[in-house]
Amino acid sequence: MSRQRFDAMTESRKRERVGVEEKGRRSKLFGSNVFNKERMLQYLTKDALESVQGAIFSGSKIDRKIADQVAEAMKTWAIEMGATHYTHWFQPLTGATAEKHDAFFDLLPDGRALEKFGGGQLVQQEPDASSFPSGGIRNTFEARGYTAWDPTSPAFVYDTTLCIPTIFVSYTGEALDNKAPLLRALNAIDEAATAVAKYFDKTVVKVNATLGWEQEYFLVDKALAHSRSDISLTGRTLVGHSAAKGQQLDDHYFGVIPLRAISFMKELELECMRLGIPVKTRHNEVAPNQFELAPVFEEANLAVDHNLLLMDVMDRIADKHNLKVLFHEKPFAGINGSGKHNNWSLATDTGVNLLSPGSTPMKNLQFLTFFINTIKAVDTYEELLRSSIASASNDHRLGANEAPPAILSIFVGKQLGNVLDELEGVSKGKLSPEEKTELKLNVVGKIPEILLDNTDRNRTSPFAFTGNKFEMRGVGSKTNCAKPMTILNTIVAKQLREFKKEVDALVDKKSLKKDEAVFNVLREYIKTSKRIRFDGDGYSEDWQKEAERRKLSNNKTTPAALQVLTSKQSLELFASMGVMSEKEVAARQEVELEAYILHIQIEGRVLNELVYSHIIPSVIEYQNILIKNVLGLKEIYGAAHRKLTDGQSGIIEQIAEHIAELKKQVDAMTDARRKANKLTDTRKKAFAYSDDVKPYFEKIRMHCDKLEMLVDNRYWPLVKYRELLSIK
């Protein structure tokens, strides 16, 4: 056995469960490391508290004097919590988070030391922006960037650092992060949804988009993961034959959680409680070593921050338990990959979920209004929404015969589909008394009863209505939720704005009553958005053909999916909603394409090294043993050895054939990569990596996996799937 593999296996077998001490109620622990409303009541003056709450609720600006008060209170609390440093915690376009720690410690001119943190440090900082991707927004030598405090997401103490959530912008004001566009999109949905909600309840002042993500992930032993350069450098296994037993028995899903995994989960959940991340659910997922956790729904911006923080916490806690978390969407071939389902809804400040039916026809008309407008928005911008989940890693999962496919469609269920079909037949213009009664009592009024047993059973739907929310399933497990949430909230805000214009026009010009106008507009939306509704198997050949007939996009790769970002329709959408300028959109497209290129480039290089430095030498070593065996038998038996060495000779020949083909494919991949690297146009380069380089990966893998089955287990250099996919 390879020394590295042997050492890793030996180390992993010695592992013992790390004990976790859990005392007291989690409700008392929740938010203890967060500068939340409870802390603000303790540490802030009345004026400062009102100013911060005003900023959170309505987006009002915080006066500099008030900011100084908040900073002083925050510093006092953080130091009491053991903090020695502070940082502006932001989300650059890398997809992860970033932070630069500064000590509270400072010196006075006379040499005396003190702890210092004022409103200036709280509200704004100037981190070096030169090494973060900007997509051409600023040149490398123009290093200045600004981070600005986001008071809607509370500061928290992590380890010994006060972390202050911020946006990140260039010195000319363009967003260099994922948070700023999200906040703009959330402001847009607030304004548009509030205006429509007032049709049904004039007391509504604010509407929040809510998000509940479901984080799927794999756990593998740290020593085993570190023994493989492909896992360490790319997050996935580039080669590896499937284990004899994978997920085919469905015995892992919701099964008993392994002891080492449950210990990890317990400590993770305790840390989440302290940081105010409301995790609630944990369970085994379908694939071996795959798990899921999910929180209680939160306001979307806060939920995004919590998910990013969670992934960092997961890495740290896993390391303590001698485990490695894999967030890659497809770390292992032949078994299910990992997603991050985004459950989205809209909630008013009066406590009403706008995507939940009510007890009266009027409340159900409100539900239908937001339900149908969401369907219409997704239908209009389905290709743009698909682009928000595009990445090199997610390409392995989307359309890979597991939920969801790359074609975007909406599942609403048969019963709700029937309701929409009935509403489609509403008369144009004024409604007769009989039609009003029929609609309100027998169609709209019965929606709650319809939904009682109408749970979602279509797991292949990329965008499904699940009772009181829409579930966006295509989001990748390591994706920043800010990207799909920015797009989704923007398109629904745009649609609601258009809806209100049309309803108001019918009321003003056609003298229709409000509910008649609403029914008339919804009827047209139902008709024009029917193509996006699909309740069947998302992987059937019939649906692929039908989707093409309906002119739904089927962008299977990231370079193809990202092209829509700079289309005229997309640019007009972002500009009209005040979410992103043309320059900001183009920058994001450039950054995403460049990231795709680099990920495929790294995978190609790692694959090259694995084949030439590990696999071929090990295989030849074993092949030489077989050759020596054949020659030895020949020496003993002479010509009669042929009958005795047929098996060995056959294996020698197969190994030789696979080595020859392996070298040929790796060299061809390297040549294709060199050609792609010569291209200066980022778009053409991305397509070259997608179309000319990446196809070699599976060909190379096939030969490696065949060799794995031919070579003596003791000589195979890489930890195998059957060893990786088990936690004892």
Altogether, the residues listed in the chain come to a count of 728
Distance separating alpha carbons of residues 27 and 36, to the nearest angstrom: 15
Query: Which has the closest alpha carbon to 196: 497, 486, 446, 462?
Result: 497
CB 479 within 8 A of CB 487: no
Angle made by CA atoms 71, 94, 150, in degrees to the nearest 5: 25
C-alpha 693/C-alpha 363 separation (Å) is 54
Rounded Cα distance between 363 and 352, Å, is: 10
Question: Where are the extended beta strands (E) located within 90-131?
Answer: 101-103, 105-107, 113-115, 124-125
**Rounded Cα gap, residues 368 and 354, in angstroms:** 9
pLDDT in tens, 293-346: 999 999 999 999 999 999 999 999 999 999 999 999 999 999 999 999 999 999
| Residues 389-435 pLDDT 10s | 999 999 999 866 566 888 999 999 888 898 899 888 887 878 777 77
On whether the CB atoms of residues 66 and 149 are closer than 8 A, the answer is: no
Helix 414-424 with 514-528: angle, nearest 10 deg: 110
25-66 residue pLDDT tens: 888 899 999 999 999 999 998 888 988 888 888 778 888 888
Residue 660 confidence (pLDDT) above 70: yes
What is the band of 141 on the pLDDT scale with cuts at 50, 70, 90? very low
CB 337 within 8 A of CB 397: yes
Using CA atoms of 166, 170, 176, 180 in order, give the dihedral in degrees to the nearest 10: 50
How far is residue 633's CA from residue 483's CA, in Å, rounded to a whole number? 65
Q: Chain-wide mean pLDDT for the chain?
A: 91
Burial class, 238, CB count within 10 angstroms (exposed 0-12 / middle 13-18 / buried 19+) = buried
Angle, in degrees to the nearest 10, between helices 300-320 and 179-197: 140
The pLDDT assigned to 150 comes to 93
Can you give the pLDDT at residue 496?
Answer: 98
Q: List the alpha helices (DSSP H) in 154-299.
A: 179-197, 222-226, 229-234, 259-274
Separation of alpha carbons 367 and 186, rounded Å: 20
Backbone φ, ψ for residue 340 (5° rounding): -140, 80
Closest among 81, 86, 161 to 116, alpha carbons compared: 86
Kindly report, residue by residue over 688-726, the tens digit of the pLDDT: 999 999 999 999 999 999 999 999 999 999 999 999 998
Q: Could you give phi then psi for residue 600, rounded to 5 degrees?
A: -70, -35
pLDDT at res. 276: 97
Q: In 3D, which of 472, 461, 212, 218 has the Cα closest to residue 338?
A: 218
Q: Does 140 score more than 50 pLDDT? A: no
